[in-house]
Structure 1
């Protein structure tokens, strides 16, 4: 069953048993309707290849998956989840199966399953499916709010940190060649970069000196006589004569 593609959070079911698939479908539809969640069941099928095609054709969706482990197909639910992870590293995957002994494979293949529901008591399946929908929706809303917070990406070794602009005071040239120091409210982070490139990252950033870029939103006072800027965390930054005009 395919439906419109315009929902916030997409739900996909892959279950080869028609009766089980219908029950899961009904549970999902009823819960989405009763709770009035901005989600939609976009695909329900017994064919894992159809799931792969759907995901490849709709790369921008955020998804919650319900997969059976034994799909009576050359591709098992575990194998399907493994392939899905290559295309979708943020989707939530839930297994609904009679094969509880195979749950360890989700760790072996680094699938990061959200839940592993055993098909023993139908009512328990329904409850767990509803719980997974609710948790996935709450996490989606939380992630959506976080993604709207503008942040500066700092690459430090093999990791990338996101620092919200609200926390950034200023950037300064380091004494170490080709490095900068990012000053936040409470800490300093040193990373590779050029001071001339920083201002272009956001309109709140202003190059006030050859060695400094400040966050205009966190300026407390400007001392024209001393040509200094005091930031809201108490630190001070130098201002050139030319840059002073821009602050006016």
Structure 2
């Protein structure tokens, strides 16, 4: 699901943008959710720092009246969300060239002076973002991206057995058929990456397509390579429904 972010220093403009966007995604039934609207650019950065694999649509003012402007915020967003759609909504037409200097690849640069045109362009940006997301989502349903050792790595779902927590806080172990990898993250974020992933226990997420056997009595799930994961009662109930 695409996450919507707004960063605008004027609270009135912030609420206005939020209303335009929320109304349109509800009417069009886009696969989007409103995540964060803030006057503080560092809240956006903090959110992206604490969540993996975000796919977002970002509406940014340019003059944020903070240590960083909207263009610089856009550059930081681009580092963390390479496929994100960044839209500038501003009165500062003269700063548009900076989007090229910072290599932000903005979807649009919308001037606020004409409200009706501004609203139309926001709608068009949401339409484009949704269309792009749906087209890439079909391709990416058989794979996921994970950040491991400061690199984005792509894994085919069919190669993934399960994830488990480790003794080190926020460190997760990924079990593949012929390899184990550790990386920092949280299982709550991993769980949302694929419909194939099932949270069977506080410490385990399994790939349902690679289950070999379910032992309800022992609360054990055997994967097709022979490795065993432990399930809670709730996890077993979820597995019965698949």
TM-score interval w.r.t. the shorter chain?
A: 0.5 to 0.7
Tell me the secondary structure at the aligned position of residue 103 of structure 2. coil
Q: 1:32 and 1:90 mapped to 2: Cα distance?
A: 20
1:119 maps to 112
CA distance in 2, matches of 1:130, 1:11: 13
Alpha-carbon shift at residue 61 of structure 1 (Å): 2.0
Gapped regions of structure 1 (runs ≥ 5): 1-7, 151-199, 201-248
Aligned residues: 148
2:72 corresponds to 1:79: yes
Structure 2: distance between partners of 1:85 and 1:34: 29
SS in 2 for 1:146: helix
1:145 aligns with 2:138: yes
Contact 2:3-2:35 within 8 A present in 1 as well: yes
Give 2:102's aligned residue: 109
Aligned partners of 2:10 and 2:52: how far apart in 1? 27
Instruction: Give me the whole-angstrom Cα distance separating, in 1, the residues matched to 2:52 and 2:125.
Output: 22
Q: Of the candidates 64, 78, 82, which is equivalent to residue 89 of structure 1?
A: 82
Name the counterpart of 1:15.
8
Counterpart in 2 of 1:134? 127
RMSD after superposition: 2.2
Unaligned runs of 5+ in 2: 144-177, 179-242
Aligned residue for 2:5, secondary structure, equals strand
Cα deviation, residue 59, structure 1: 1.8
Match of 2:60 among 64, 67, 89: 67
How far residue 118 of structure 1 moved from its aligned partner, in angstroms, is 0.5
Residues 157-172 of structure 1: pairs in structure 2 closer than 5 A: none
Please list, as runs of the form range in 1=range in 2, the aligned pairs for 1:35-50 lying within 5 A after superposition.
35-50=28-43
Q: What is the alpha-carbon distance in structure 2 between the residues aligned to residue 34 and residue 85 of structure 1?
A: 29
TM-score, with length taken from structure 2: 0.58
Q: CA deviation at 1:123?
A: 1.4
* Structure 2 equivalent of residue 58 of structure 1: 51
Structure having the higher Rg = 1
Q: How far did residue 72 of structure 1 move?
A: 0.8
Query: How far apart, CA to CA, are the structure 1 residues paired with 2:118 and 2:125?
Result: 11
Q: CA offsets, 1:166-191, max 9 Å, x none? A: xxxxxxxxxxxxxxxxxxxxxxxxxx
1:148 to partner: Cα distance? 3.4
CA drift at 1:60? 2.0
